[in-house]
Structure 1
Amino acid sequence: MIHLTRRAALAAAAAALAAPRLATAQPIGGSAERPVRIIVPYNAGGITDVISRATAAGLQAALGQPVIVENRPGANGTVGTLAAARAPADGSTITMGITDTFAINRSTFRTLPYSDENDFAPISMVTRVPFALMVGAHRRDMPDFASFVRESKKEAGKFSHASWGVGSSSHLAFEFVARNLGIEKLHVPFAAQAPGMQAVAAAQVDSMMLPVGGANSLAVDGRARILALAHPHRIDLTPNVPTLQELGVPLATGLWLALFAPARTPAPVLERLNAALREGMKHETTLSVFRQQAGQPEPSTPAELAAFAAAERAQWAKVVREADIRVEA
């Protein structure tokens, strides 16, 4: 499991107390003592939680008021995202939206209880992290990608892969690889990233497509092997891992993370949150965690995030149609 260490959290808190507040006439939510909540619609330990806590450290330092993370998991992010949509539109509650909750779910769920476009106001992009294909250390017969392809084909319908839910980005990314290579696989969905990782590490499931930082944490401990990276080029975190494109699979994908507020949040509040995020992304705790996850700060304007999310919705709708995946809500 990946996490923000206690030492890092304490250092972030100390830095927040020492840092000057971003100039403003009005604290977020009307009181400097009132915490800003970032709703994370997934369990603790996964990439969304980790990036959110790192982002909160920087935001707290920039705003000069408490910023807390609240995990509200369930139904591939819909439970927490709906809670964020229904929160007061004063900036005191925001959410960390990801590819799944703000691009994919609208296509996979027959009935989605929120509108990713109409119920939210974009604040800023946060970061993007590439996906990696990993197998558990128990699959000694799969030391590299070529053996993965060969051996998985021998186990038609039995070779298992984990994801953090039916129709999730993790599921769809592996589905693309399997279809491209002609692999018949057994999908084992979990409620979040961390349980899926743990299942692979415990030899209960064979493989998983997930953010590279999580995969690398298991690889470093010898509990898994990273076979390929779903990225346009190799990265410093895993310099010896080839890309899927190098291996003949035309896939470059990952997870994007961005902050959204409830719709009708006043423009001055969105502007202040955007400015605070830009300042907070310079925070050493934030930068350190991003680097561990192979991510870089990518602040944007609200308009840029809105345009990006719209393009992502269209792109993933096509992928979902081709994979014919639906989730009954």
Structure 2
Amino acid sequence: MTRRDVLLASALAGLARPLAAQGQSEAFASRPIRLVVPFPAGGISDVLARAMADALTPRLGQPVVIDNRPGAGGNIGAEFVARATPDGYTLLAAGPAVMGVAKALYQRLNYDPDADFLPIGMLGAVPNVLVINARSLPDPSLAGLIAAAKARPGALTYASSGSGSLTHLLGELFSAEAGIQLLHVPYRGNAQAMSDLVGGQVNILFDAVATSLPLIQAGSVRALGVTSRERAPELPDVPSLVELGMPDMHAPSWTAVYAPAATPRPVVERLRREMAAVGDSASYREILRNRGTQSMPMSEAEMETYLAAERRRWAEAVRRSGARAD
């Protein structure tokens, strides 16, 4: 073969590769799609992922199957997707614990939350609520809480579901925003933390609106503000912390779908279109309402900007807290 023949063959091969990739993208989807949830079944990320999977299945013409891979704070499932073939058939449903907190919290990760994934779309966001034991404060209002904390730095306690958890870091965000010092008391999950809040062993807790609602309605705890821009429909009389002058406290627990970073652009765009269509549907919005979850529709650019800001926010919260997971 002459040098000219070699160059011609190389040029033809170079043309063939994009055409082959385009053909693979146009064929998407030709087999079942796996949507990995890096937490146990039953949580809000799992519920939203299943609702989206059910709605995507007829739109893509292939089953979208949920694969729960819990462990290591979500890192096991996230690493699995990061290492998967980037063809759109293995996706991840994850939120700030994996995509915002993990890189700052863990000294060693076998994946890079920033570089190894492409965002596809938002599933929804759950606002948390700041609840207090009203009997433990002379003035059980937000202003009264802040005044009491400033009068006795480190005397008031806030509970969390564990060191480095979102409920821990929400307490750090709140302390920084209010200019106060609180004593962190970590628990193994929010259920025991809430029990001790009701009993008066701790003063403050951030918890999901849905799980706090019965205790708020019963008067066992008092809600001071929610961590979303708008008021939660379930708590129309409780202002948002943003509304009360704390702009950094727009900090809901969101869940988004991601693909491995090298997934072909046509596949990513198809997934984004189909997810956006599902998110706009009345049936999916009804599921969000029934789960106390808010819709977060975003364009690609808006999502990139939001997620970058979330990574900075939670990394700073981890830094301030001094929490380490390994």
User: TM-score with structure 1 length normalisation?
Assistant: 0.74
Q: Does 1:187 align with 2:185?
A: yes
| 1:175-227 deviation line (CA, Å, top 9, x unaligned) | 2324536453342244xxxx424652585875531343343365457765433
3-state SS in 1 of match to 2:49:
helix
Let me know the Cα RMSD of the aligned residues: 3.3
1:121 aligns with 2:115: no
> Please, which of 45, 50, 72 is the counterpart of residue 48 of structure 1?
45
Say whether the 8 Å CA contact 1:57–1:280 is kept in structure 2: no
Look up the match of 2:297: 298
- Report the Cα offset of residue 270 of structure 1: 1.3
Counting helix residues as a fraction of each chain, which structure ranks higher?
A: 2
Q: Give 1:298's aligned amino acid.
A: P
The verdict on how the C-alpha distance between 1:297 and 1:254 changes in structure 2, with shifts beyond 3 A counting, is: closer
User: 1-side partners of 2:179 and 2:187: how far apart?
Assistant: 21
Residue by residue over 1:17-59, the C-alpha shift from the partner in whole angstroms, topping out at 9 and shown as x without a partner, is xxxxxxx96343x32xx2x222122233333223222222322
Query: Could you say which residue in structure 2 is the equivalent of 1:101?
Result: 98
Aligned to 1:26: 27
1:120-164 deviation line (CA, Å, top 9, x unaligned): 12212333333211347xx6556654676688888966845123x
Alignment of 1:67-78 (within 5 A): 67-78=64-75
1:121 touches 1:263 (CA, 8 Å); kept in 2?
A: yes
Offset of residue 89 of structure 1? 1.9
The residue type equivalent to 2:294 in the other structure is G
Alpha-carbon distance change, 140 to 37 in structure 1, aligned in 2, over 3 angstroms: farther
* Residue 177 (1) aligns with residue 171 (2): no
Which one-letter code corresponds to 1:124 in the other structure? G
Name the TM-score, length of structure 2 as normaliser: 0.74
Distance 1:79 1:218 in 2: 34
Aligned to 1:8: none
Any stretches of 5+ residues in structure 2 without a counterpart?
A: 1-24
Alpha-carbon contact 1:129-1:294 (below 8 Å) kept: yes
1:252 aligned partner: 250
The verdict on how the C-alpha distance between 1:79 and 1:116 changes in structure 2, with shifts beyond 3 A counting, is: same
C-alpha change, 1:307 and 1:141, in structure 2 (3 Å) is closer
Distance 1:155 1:43, change over 3 A: farther
Residues in 2 aligned to 1:71 and 1:218: alpha-carbon distance in whole angstroms: 30
Evaluate the alpha carbon distance shift between residue 199 and residue 58 of structure 1 in structure 2; reply closer, same or farther with a 3 A threshold: farther
User: Contact 1:47–1:211 (CA<8 Å) still a contact in 2?
Assistant: no
List alignment gaps of at least 5 residues for structure 1: 1-23
Query: How many residues in Structure 1 have an aligned counterpart in Structure 2?
Result: 293
Name the CA shift for 1:197/1:135 in 2 (closer, same or farther; >3 Å).
Answer: farther
Q: What are the superposed Cα offsets for residues 227-274 of structure 1, whole Å, 9 maximum, x if unpaired? A: 321233433331111233455655332223221011222222212211
Contact 1:162–1:209 (8 Å) recurs in 2: yes
Per-residue deviation, 1:284? 4.0
Give the match for residue 22 of structure 2.
none
Counterparts of 1:241 and 1:93, CA distance in 2: 40
Question: Larger Rg: 1 or 2?
Answer: 2
Contact 2:36 2:67 in 1 (8 A): yes
Rounded to whole Å, the distance in 2 between the matches of 1:224 and 1:50 is 27
Aligned-pair CA distance for 1:306: 3.0
Q: What is the 5 A alignment of 1:125-204?
A: 125-135=122-132, 141=136, 145=142, 159-163=157-161, 165-178=162-175, 180=178, 182-190=180-188, 195-197=189-191, 199-201=193-195
* Match of residue 317, structure 1, among 311, 315, 318: 315
For residues 281-319 of structure 1, give each alpha carbon's deviation from its aligned partner in whole angstroms, at most 9, with x where no partner exists: 244442122223241141432x54334322332333333
Alignment check: 8 A CA contact 1:41 1:77 kept: yes
Q: Percent identity?
A: 31
